[in-house]
Chain A
């Protein structure tokens, strides 16, 4: 129990250190960069719940992410709801979407599941484009509040919000790994039919994983309208989110939550740096290049490299 407590305290301490470190920089750009990096940490940890733990590759990250973003737009427009409440609602709606999609598609295995999730983004984007209340194809503007009660600077508030979400997702992922749910998912990943024969309720566990993963992705997208202050369907449903998330997780390693965190921090920091110094169009090129290198040289990601070197060290 004390180990768990120490882990949670460690997460909280990391968060506080990050906030104060960025305050020292005292620059809006630092909050923005931090926000984007944490957003990818959250997305990657979420994606890994289904892909790393259960072995189901979801190509619909952008769909869940955009569902969260549009939840905020609709709730702000109709009810003028506070962003924090929008985030919670986005979690519920994206989680529900995950459940519904899972119920329709999880009977499919392997690549068929992936194709089905890929089409989800296309379907939802078409829906939003033709929905004028949500801004239609021309997009929607969100007025950012001048400041925040707790944090004077709204950029800082957005950063802290994403930080809390990302740390919460890490805690949840770490819990899943140790839980019965995590072990059941690992059994599904190794051999789904054998898992069923051993009595593992495979469909139920997969649905839970899809719902958790979808809810996290939706929450990652919920603050986006405030971050960008303008959102159109093309940007929200961009395949970039899907590809980045997958690449980051694969580069970091899928064995535990540590992998997606490492991958997301490294790759998105690299992307942010390249955006400023080289060009913003070079981003996907970097991702593609790094991914190819990893697939060829370290197919199990950074975690796999660390484990391999440790294994050698132990044997020697």
Chain B
């Protein structure tokens, strides 16, 4: 039975007096990748942060279905939400620059269930990104953007997520790395049975792996498309991304 792993309903959120999200509703079916599309400043990151409790919503709910259990995430502390299996790969990677690759990865394994599987999950990370295995003792601050993005995704994998939130994985990467990173996310989803919500500006790359897409404009969902064609035909997408 297909069900929705993540359901956002009528969400308002913002910073101080500035309201960024206006009644956002969104659902992510279990085992699918939903691409959250929209240009800078439309609220993609804020929505991600609000789901994870890093920004407190002023209205609306965030609910998740994890291991057959319905959980209300609204108002919970971030570490609690992560502990339930909802994990974010933050925008700009936000790694611990003074620590090594391996230390960064191990820091992702704070959940009780993930703590028991650290060595197995490290192996998974190094299989997925052989580059990281070669550089496990290197300080993360001295690595390239693409390698850092690998560490950021690896850190999220270490927590054995059920629902993975990925915020702008392509920011600051070379075009070839963008393609690779997006493909890896797609492969990981298939391999681990993840549910993924991915915010991305790079429409053409994102739509290659996404099962569906939602377009966020000025803090509200303006359009939802079930297929790549329907998204490509949409006038908003054409206006923002395709320049036609």
Kindly state the separation between the CA atoms of A200 and B79 in the bound complex, as whole angstroms.
Answer: 6
Is A234 located at the chain interface by the 8 A CB criterion?
Answer: no
Q: Is the CB of A200 within 8 A of B54?
A: no
Q: Is the CB of A197 within 8 A of B107?
A: no
Q: Is the CB of A197 within 8 A of B111?
A: no
* Selected contact of B96 from candidates A186, A199, A203, CB within 8 Å: A186
Is A184 located at the chain interface by the 8 A CB criterion?
Answer: yes
Kindly state the separation between the CA atoms of A141 and B64 in the bound complex, as whole angstroms.
Answer: 63
Q: Is the CB of B108 within 8 A of A198?
A: yes
Kindly state the separation between the CA atoms of A189 and B156 in the bound complex, as whole angstroms.
Answer: 19
* Selected contact of A191 from candidates B79, B88, B96, B110, CB within 8 Å: B96
Q: Is the CB of B96 within 8 A of A196?
A: no
Is A195 located at the chain interface by the 8 A CB criterion?
Answer: yes
- Give residues 171-229 of A contacting B (CB, 8 Å): 183-184, 186-187, 189-191, 193-204
Q: Is the CB of B79 within 8 A of A201?
A: yes
Minimum C-beta distance from A205 to chain B (A): 10
Question: What is the interface size of chain A, counting residues whose CB is below 8 A from a CB of the partner?
Answer: 19
Is B36 located at the chain interface by the 8 A CB criterion?
Answer: no
Is B52 located at the chain interface by the 8 A CB criterion?
Answer: yes
Q: Is the CB of A183 within 8 A of B107?
A: yes
- Give residues 83-101 of B contacting A (CB, 8 Å): 83, 87-88, 90, 94-99
Write out the residue numbers on chain B whose beta carbons fall within 8 Å of the beta carbon of A193: 54, 90, 94
Kindly state the separation between the CA atoms of A183 and B109 in the bound complex, as whole angstroms.
Answer: 12
Q: Which partner residue on chain A sits nearest B53 by CB separation?
A: A196
A184-B107, A202-B79 as given contacts; A197 in contact with B98, CB under 8 Å: no
A196-B79, A197-B52, A199-B83 as given contacts; A190 in contact with B110, CB under 8 Å: no
Q: Is the CB of A198 within 8 A of B54?
A: no
Q: Is the CB of A186 within 8 A of B99?
A: yes
Q: Which partner residue on chain A sits nearest B156 by CB separation?
A: A198
Q: Is the CB of B54 within 8 A of A197?
A: yes
Q: Which of B54, B96, B106 has the most CB of A within 10 A?
A: B96
Q: Which partner residue on chain A sits nearest B94 by CB separation?
A: A194
Secondary structure of the A side of the interface?
helix
Minimum C-beta distance from B18 to chain A (A): 18
Is B155 located at the chain interface by the 8 A CB criterion?
Answer: yes
A187-B96, A190-B96, A191-B94 as given contacts; A197 in contact with B88, CB under 8 Å: yes
Kindly state the separation between the CA atoms of A197 and B106 in the bound complex, as whole angstroms.
Answer: 14
Q: Which partner residue on chain B sits nearest A201 by CB separation?
A: B79
Q: Is the CB of A200 within 8 A of B107?
A: yes
Write out the residue numbers on chain A whose beta carbons fall within 8 Å of the beta carbon of B95: 190-191, 194
Question: What is the interface size of chain B, counting residues whose CB is below 8 A from a CB of the partner?
Answer: 25
Is B82 located at the chain interface by the 8 A CB criterion?
Answer: yes
Q: Is the CB of B82 within 8 A of A198?
A: yes
Q: Is the CB of A198 within 8 A of B155?
A: yes
Write out the residue numbers on chain A whose beta carbons fall within 8 Å of the beta carbon of B88: 197
Minimum C-beta distance from A231 to chain B (A): 41
Is B159 located at the chain interface by the 8 A CB criterion?
Answer: yes
Write out the residue numbers on chain A whose beta carbons fall within 8 Å of the beta carbon of B77: 203
Is B211 located at the chain interface by the 8 A CB criterion?
Answer: no
Is B78 located at the chain interface by the 8 A CB criterion?
Answer: yes
A197-B54, A201-B110 as given contacts; A187 in contact with B99, CB under 8 Å: yes
* Selected contact of B98 from candidates A186, A198, A200, A203, CB within 8 Å: A186
Kindly state the separation between the CA atoms of A198 and B98 in the bound complex, as whole angstroms.
Answer: 16
Is B103 located at the chain interface by the 8 A CB criterion?
Answer: yes
Give B42-59 as 1s and 0s: 1 = Cβ < 8 Å from A's Cβ atoms.
000000000010100000
Kindly state the separation between the CA atoms of A194 and B167 in the bound complex, as whole angstroms.
Answer: 13
A183-B106, A183-B107, A187-B107 as given contacts; A197 in contact with B99, CB under 8 Å: no
Q: Is the CB of B98 within 8 A of A196?
A: no
Kindly state the separation between the CA atoms of A199 and B53 in the bound complex, as whole angstroms.
Answer: 11
Write out the residue numbers on chain B whose beta carbons fall within 8 Å of the beta carbon of A198: 82, 87, 107-108, 110, 155-156, 159
Beyond A183-B103, A194-B90, A199-B110, 12 extra complex contacts between A and B, CB < 8 Å? A190-B95, A191-B94, A191-B95, A193-B94, A195-B96, A196-B54, A196-B79, A197-B54, A198-B82, A198-B110, A198-B156, A204-B79
Q: Can you list 14 A-B contacts with CB-CB less than 8 angstroms, sorted by A residue number?
A: A187-B99, A191-B95, A193-B54, A193-B90, A194-B90, A196-B54, A197-B78, A198-B107, A199-B78, A199-B83, A199-B108, A200-B79, A200-B110, A204-B79
**What are the nearest 7 A-B pairs in CB distance?**
A199-B82, A194-B94, A199-B110, A190-B96, A201-B79, A196-B78, A197-B88
